[in-house]
Amino acid sequence: MTLPRSGMEVLALIPARAGSKGIPRKNLQTVAGRPLLAHSIRAARETPAITRVVVSTDDPEIGRVAREYGAEVLWRPAGISGDTASSESALLHALSHLQHDEAYTPDLVVFLQATSPLRQFADIQNAINTLINEQADSLFSACPLHGFVWRRNGRELVSYTYDYRARRRRQDAPIDLQENGSIYIFKPWVLEQLGNRLGGKIAVYPMDLYDSFQIDEPADLKLIEALFAFRQAAPMLPDLRKIRLLALDFDGVMTDNRVLTDQDGREAVWANRADGWGVARLKEAGVHIIVISTEVNPVVAARCQKLEIDCVHGCADKLGALKELAGQRAVAASEIAYVGNDVNDLACLEWVGAPIAVTGAVSAVRAVARYVTRAPGGHGAVREVCDLILEQKRSSDG
């Protein structure tokens, strides 16, 4: 996999005007506890490749929210802020303004619409990687469209994606792709020369249907709220087929978070032999495993030495250590699974492609996890994760 080169400037642009006919003040509506706009800003800021996040708006309150959540604000003229103004006009204005005032031209522009709050930062990162790997000039995200599509042509109905007189099985039909409006990426010349977000060599990034819903009508607000609640209550198992690195916290993940202390102050912990079996099998499959722990006790290194896996302990900056290792091994964040249980794991969990929490993890960790293990830490949670990764890798090979 080709990763974004060091020093590459990747600008996230989020247009958010004041007016909205369908839903008044749509970009400021509260969705899953945050203003709608905040979800796109947060996803952009969490994407490792993105170096700058700018919101283009004509509204002071939207500007205030944008700054509150960590984005820069670029004020948009009234002439390109009305109902008939295109997104391209706002994007062109932003790029022209940044070039004229700051002599700033990014290598890539990631255009995010605030109406798509369900997108994951991992999707944005993977979309950037896709454009670079395919040496494309622009990209759009899409969800697969399965089934038999008809189109009304005047008064006539036409079976558009198939011939109804020779109906095939659904699984034998071609898979069509529908733009979901969530992620667009382009090189600046595409927009400047063609006046369009898409042009040159075009790539596509497929997204899950449930992350593709947009907010256009009032009823959509309830649907999106329900999808957020479903994701938090029962995170879907992430795609583990491309995992190349498994990073583990120690206390509460490889142990049950208890410690035995003797009269001399020496400490011991409870571990699980089943975890060792899972680790060994995963290593045989070519997955690198590392433990990253803030614990300074030598018991961490001793356990890792026994399992023959790498260890960083007494670590105050867990995310920094993980990023350094990923860079050394040319592993993308989307190819990393991280298993944690407490707040000092949050930064790592929010950065990787497969964030996993153990049963009993604090609520903040469970909220960002894409999967919560059935087994508690120290009682087979690591074995469970290893088995899940191996199972998905074998199913993709077979």
Domain ranges of the chain: 10-145+171-233, 245-397
pLDDT band at 142 (very low <50, low <70, confident <90, very high): very high
How far is residue 211's CA from residue 231's CA, in Å, rounded to a whole number? 10
Distance of CA 43 to the CA centre of its chain: 7
Residue 44 has a pLDDT of: 92
How far is residue 208's CA from residue 142's CA, in Å, rounded to a whole number? 8
Q: Which of 97-106, 160-169, 256-265 has the least mean pLDDT?
A: 256-265
- Residue 47 or residue 194, greater confidence: 194
How far is residue 32's CA from residue 320's CA, in Å, rounded to a whole number? 29
pLDDT (average), residues 288-301: 86
How many other β-carbons are positioned within 10 Å of the β-carbon of residue 18?
18
How far is residue 174's CA from residue 41's CA, in Å, rounded to a whole number? 35
β-partners of residue 158 are: 151
pTM exceeds 0.85 for this model: no
Domain 245-397 indexed as CATH 3.10.110.10: no
How far is residue 57's CA from residue 75's CA, in Å, rounded to a whole number? 5
H or E segment and range at residue 346: helix 346-351
Residue 376 has a pLDDT of: 82
Residue 262 has a pLDDT of: 67
Asked whether the beta carbons of 383 and 277 are under 8 A apart, the reply is yes
pLDDT band at 19 (very low <50, low <70, confident <90, very high): confident
pLDDT (average), residues 140-167: 85
Residue 72 has a pLDDT of: 96
Residue carrying the six token digits 């026994």: 306
- Residue 236 or residue 332, greater confidence: 332
DSSP assignment letter at 275: H
Confidence check: pLDDT of 49 > 90: no
Confidence check: pLDDT of 6 > 70: no
Locate 315 and state its tokens: 């670590």
pLDDT (average), residues 31-55: 91
Q: What is the mean pLDDT of the chain?
A: 87
Q: Which of 106-110, 216-220, 252-256, 390-394 has the highest average model confidence (pLDDT)?
A: 106-110
Domain 10-145+171-233 indexed as CATH 3.30.390.30: no
Residue 135 has a pLDDT of: 93
Distance of CA 141 to the CA centre of its chain: 13
Q: pLDDT tens across 203-242, in order? A: 998 887 778 889 988 888 999 988 888 766 555 667 888 8
Distance of CA 367 to the CA centre of its chain: 14
Residue 189 has a pLDDT of: 97
Residue 2 has a pLDDT of: 46
291, amino acid identity:
V
> Do 10-145+171-233 and 245-397 show the same overall fold?
no
